[in-house]
Homo-oligomer: A and B are copies of this chain.
Amino acid sequence: MELSFIAYLRGRCRSLPSIHLGIGDDAAAIEPTEMLQLSCTDQIIDGVDFMSSETPLSEAGYKSIAINVSDIAAMGGMPKAALVTLTLPRENSTKIAGEVYEGILEAAEKYNITIAGGDISTYDGPLAVNVCLLGEVAKEQLWRRSGAKEGDAIVLTGPVGGSLSGRHLRPQPRLDLVQILQDVVKVNAAIDISDGLSLDLDRLCASSGCGAELNIDSIPIHPDALLMAKESGRSPFQHAWSDGEDFELILTMSQHDADRLSQSHSDLGLTQIGNMVGRTGLWKKNDRKLERLPPQGYTHNSNTTDVVN
């Protein structure tokens, strides 16, 4: 890597919000606030999470930021600063780094994120882009996976399924909804859909020690799921149920809050898909009988395990 790339990067980052001490020292320093400090990390790798033969590298860069923004949104927080690690194939490394950074900087500007630091290596391997994203949230506004209560309404922020037909390359994390929701309701639990509606809902249920009773017909199916179903041999519902990388949020809140929200903010595209119940697992209401639904999703056949965040 050339030092000129670092100079370019420092120049390009000048339009982003500033912090106490950014690029160019042993560590970055951010002014303290009274908020909880959020941190998460997610990596995408050529050949595993995207295909450089099909995807412009700027899109990979954009995605590396956006998927982390989704994690911060799922905590009810706002992103602030990113540390970016690029692991580059030896050949054309400077060109590749430049292309990836075009997308990283586009996403950073969109979500008002400072590039606070990072690392660049070249090696005999595929391009990997790792982002560690720092954010913040007021303590009383933190959305945990584990906070869902029996009786809570389960609210989905948008239609799901079929993202792999192209939408997954340009994730739209639902950061736009965070402040509105914080102002209007008390969200008891939240998770973003990275590995599939049912799998991520199942994780939320497990964390909360509850289950979910779903009104299956109410689940909003994305038009991409209808298109994919024509070729995949799977039903549109199956795509909505198990496809990953939708990056919508699953939220739980009191039924009272959900009712208020649907009346006052019917324009937000939110849909109640069921209620939390004491019995663990995912359940479908069927003529007053309950049918158990197995969670399905991306990690079952995956190369990626999001260990911790």
Instruction: Give chain A's interface residues, CB within 8 Å of chain B.
Output: 1, 3, 5-6, 9, 20-43, 45, 47-49, 70-72, 74-75, 77, 81, 83, 85, 87, 90, 115-126, 128, 130, 132-135, 137, 139, 142, 144-146, 190-192, 207, 303-309
Contact = CB atoms under 8 A, between A and B. Distances in A.
Contacts of A135: 27
A23 B122 CA distance: 30
Given A34-B32, A43-B85, A23 B134 contact: no
Contacts of A146: 25
A278 B120 CA distance: 32
A20 B42 CA distance: 21
A21 B1 CA distance: 37
Interface centre among A72, A123, A132, A190 (most CB of B within 10 A): A132
A245 to B, nearest CB: 15
A199 B128 CA distance: 28
A281 to B, nearest CB: 17
Contacts of A133: 27
Contact of A25 (B21, B42, B75, B124): B75
A3 B305 CA distance: 8
B123 A47 contact: yes
Q: Which residue of A25, A71, A124 has the most chain B CB atoms within 10 A of its CB atom?
A: A25
A32 B116 CA distance: 19
B33 A32 contact: yes
B128 A71 contact: no
A128 B192 CA distance: 27
| A145, A190, A305 — most chain B CB neighbours (10 Å) | A305
B118 A75 contact: no
Contact of A48 (B37, B123, B139): B123
Nearest to A303: B122
A195 to B, nearest CB: 12
Contacts of A23: 307-309
12 contacts: A26-B75, A26-B145, A27-B72, A30-B38, A39-B81, A39-B83, A43-B87, A43-B130, A49-B121, A120-B305, A123-B125, A130-B130
Contacts of A118: 41, 307-309
Contact of A27 (B40, B47, B304): B40
B123 A40 contact: no
